[in-house]
Every structure is written in structure tokens, then in C-alpha cells.
């Protein structure tokens, strides 16, 4: 009996140690959420390798939208990525972003601009190939690809839509004009932003006093007219004034839309963009329009049939 009692006491002591050890052991830490991935993709072309920065939010499901953000003359993919807030919006709303680099910092948008135009670079082909690669590699939804751009990049969104309408569900040109052949214009969602004080690409057309190309640009109204007609829109838009911003919305057939935000007093700028350097960052008034959010909110509902 005494031996049995000793064994029982020993067993209970061992169990007490094990239980105490389990109670005091720290709980396993929850796995940290995976960070978004940023990579550079490269495509071969007739003028040499072409590349783009791609931002993909963590755990992005297949068949998510893709936004292609196109820089202006003398700009770059990294400049657009660091100053416009598309990465943060993509992480929040769940889409992929690609920032392609132009040839010699320009895009051949038809009759303009720079070395890309004089060398007759096939930028439509490059952008088409970029989307095809991201559809294959990342599984983005080919029915929900959108192109937005600034200045020469805005002109490139028009040119791309006119040349390959099967690539895009919508475009968002900021401070740009249609300088590519576009007959007939495609039926596509267009969301445009322009400032009344733009001296590079004047809202009423012509050669701007600060123009890089010295090209006589068509007016914004002339640039949008072919798309308003192709989308079967009412000739007169509904207008909402929230000075200094006037938003015009055309009622169109199907699920396409044409929307325009005109910002009084705005120059050749992407409204709402951040300054390129923290050194230059100063206290500023809230911008009258956040073009990035405005474009996405009006483009995201469109899809190719």
C-alpha cells in the first residue's frame, strides 16, 4: 500500500508540473499579415526591354481589377507611384496597379509626343502586352482593366482605347487631350479631369504657352465628343457645382458613363497629389478634388461585356 501511495503521489506531482508548464507557456503569436508585393516586370519590344512597376496587395483574389497608371512627359513610373496614392487605394479596395515607363520618358499617343512619337514607338502594343502578362501571371480580370494617365499619359489612355478597345473597360485622362485617330470611337467609360488654368494643355484647345510639344491640342469638349456619341449618351450632361469643382455627368446607354470634373483655377496638375519630396512638404489647404479617388469611384463599376 505504501509503495502504491508513493507512486500515486509521484504521478500527481509530475502531472502538476506538466499542467503548470502548459498554463505558463505563452500563446502562439498570430501570423503577421503578408505585405503587399512590389515588383518590376519587363517585356521585350522593338526598341529594347520595356518595364513597369507592379503593386499587388496581399491576399488579392484572382479576377481582381487592374489599373494602369501612365505618367506624363518627362515623368516616370516611380514618380506616379509615389505621388498619387494608388497603392494605398488598391490595398483598401482590392485591385492591382501597374505603372509602366514610357520610351525616353514619353508616350507615342498619336500625333504627340517627344522621342516616342518621332521614333514611332508602338506604345499601344507595349501596354497591350503588359496587360496580357499580368492576366497570365497574376490572374487579373481582363474584363476590368482601366487606364488612367496624366498629360501625355492621359493622351496615351485615349490612344490605347481607340486602338485596342477590347483591352479596356474605362479610361481616366487627367489634363490631356485626344491626339490619336479615333474613328469610330469605342463605346467605353471615360472619366476626365481638367483645370481651367492649364497652360500646357489648354482646356479650350490650342498651343499652350507652357506646352512641351507645341502641338495645337483639341479642346476638352472636342476630345470627349466622340466618346459621348459612341456611348449613346444624352447630348447635355447633368451638372453639379461644388466650387471650385463642376462635375458633369452624361446619361449613357448600358453601364458605361462619361464624367468630367473641371476645377476652376487649376493648372496642369493632378489634383490631390502629394508633393514629390518630404522636404517640400508644407501645410496646405485640402485640395478641391482628389483625382485618384474620383477616377476610381467612377471607373470601377464598368466592365467589358
203 within a domain of the structure (yes/no): yes
pLDDT for the residue 287: 77
Cell numbers of 294, please? 474620383
pLDDT at 2: 40
Domain with residue 258: its CATH number is 3.40.50.1820
**Residue range 224-235, pLDDT digits in tens:** 999 999 999 999
Q: With residue 43 as reference, give the H or E element that holds it.
A: strand 37-43
How big is the chain by its Cα radius of gyration, in Å? 26
Q: What pLDDT is attached to residue 285?
A: 61
* Interatomic CA distance for residues 160 and 119, integer angstroms: 18
Residue 215 placed within a domain = yes
- Number of Cβ within 10 Å of residue 92's Cβ equals 10
Residue 283 C-alpha from the chain's centroid = 26
Contacts of 214 (CB under 8 A, 6+ apart): 207
Residue 1 lies in a domain: no
Per-residue confidence (pLDDT) for residue 34, from 0 to 100: 62
Dihedral sign of CA atoms 291, 296, 298, 302 in order: positive
- Residue 27 falls inside a structural domain: no
- Residues 124, 213: Cα–Cα separation, whole Å: 20
How many independent structural domains does the chain possess? 1
Q: Residue 91: what pLDDT?
A: 98
Cell of 218: 483639341
What pLDDT sits at residue 35?
A: 73
Residue 24 is assigned to a structural domain of this protein: no
Give one word for 26, left, alpha or beta, with left for phi > 0 and alpha for psi -120 to 50. Answer: beta
Classify residue 138: in a domain, yes or no. Answer: yes
- C-alpha neighbours within 13 Å on the C-beta side of residue 189: 26
Q: Is residue 10 part of a domain?
A: no
- CA 15, CA 3: separation in Å to the nearest integer? 18
- pLDDT value for 44: 97
What stretches in the chain show pLDDT beneath 50?
1-32, 276-283
- The mean of the pLDDT values for the chain is 88
What percentage of the chain reaches a pLDDT higher than 70? Answer: 85
For residue 247, is it within any domain?
yes
Q: Which domain holds residue 124?
A: 35-299
pTM of the predicted structure, to 2 decimals: 0.87
Give the three-state DSSP class for 131.
helix
Amino acid at each position: 500500500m505504501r509503495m502504491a501511495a508513493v507512486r500515486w503521489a509521484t504521478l500527481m506531482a509530475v502531472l502538476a508540473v506538466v499542467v503548470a508548464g502548459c498554463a505558463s507557456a505563452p500563446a502562439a503569436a498570430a501570423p503577421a499579415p503578408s505585405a503587399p508585393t512590389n515588383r518590376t516586370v519587363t517585356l521585350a519590344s522593338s526598341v529594347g526591354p520595356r518595364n513597369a512597376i507592379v503593386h499587388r496587395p496581399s491576399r488579392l483574389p484572382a479576377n481582381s481589377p487592374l489599373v494602369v497608371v501612365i505618367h506624363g512627359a518627362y515623368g516616370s513610373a516611380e514618380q506616379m507611384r509615389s505621388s498619387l496614392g494608388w497603392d494605398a487605394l488598391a490595398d483598401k479596395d482590392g485591385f492591382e496597379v501597374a505603372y509602366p515607363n514610357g520610351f525616353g520618358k514619353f508616350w507615342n499617343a498619336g500625333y504627340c509626343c517627344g522621342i516616342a512619337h518621332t521614333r514611332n514607338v508602338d506604345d499601344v502594343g507595349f501596354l497591350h502586352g503588359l496587360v496580357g502578362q499580368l492576366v497570365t501571371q497574376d490572374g487579373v480580370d481582363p474584363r476590368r482593366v482601366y487606364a488612367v494617365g496624366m498629360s501625355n499619359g492621359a493622351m496615351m489612355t485615349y490612344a490605347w482605347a481607340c486602338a485596342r478597345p477590347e483591352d479596356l473597360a474605362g479610361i481616366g485622362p487627367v489634363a490631356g487631350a485626344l491626339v490619336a485617330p479615333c474613328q469610330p470611337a469605342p463605346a467605353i467609360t471615360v472619366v476626365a479631369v481638367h483645370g481651367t488654368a492649364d497652360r500646357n494643355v489648354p482646356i479650350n484647345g490650342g498651343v499652350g504657352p507652357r506646352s512641351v510639344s507645341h502641338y495645337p491640342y483639341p479642346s476638352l469638349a472636342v476630345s470627349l465628343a466622340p466618346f459621348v456619341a459612341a456611348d449613346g449618351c444624352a447630348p447635355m450632361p447633368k451638372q453639379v457645382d461644388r466650387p471650385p469643382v463642376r462635375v458633369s455627368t452624361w446619361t449613357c446607354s448600358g453601364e458605361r458613363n462619361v464624367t468630367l470634373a473641371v476645377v476652376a483655377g487649376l493648372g496642369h496638375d493632378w489634383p490631390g497629389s502629394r508633393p514629390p519630396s518630404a522636404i517640400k512638404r508644407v501645410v496646405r489647404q485640402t485640395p478641391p478634388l482628389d483625382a485618384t479617388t474620383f477616377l476610381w469611384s467612377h471607373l470601377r463599376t464598368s466592365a467589358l461585356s
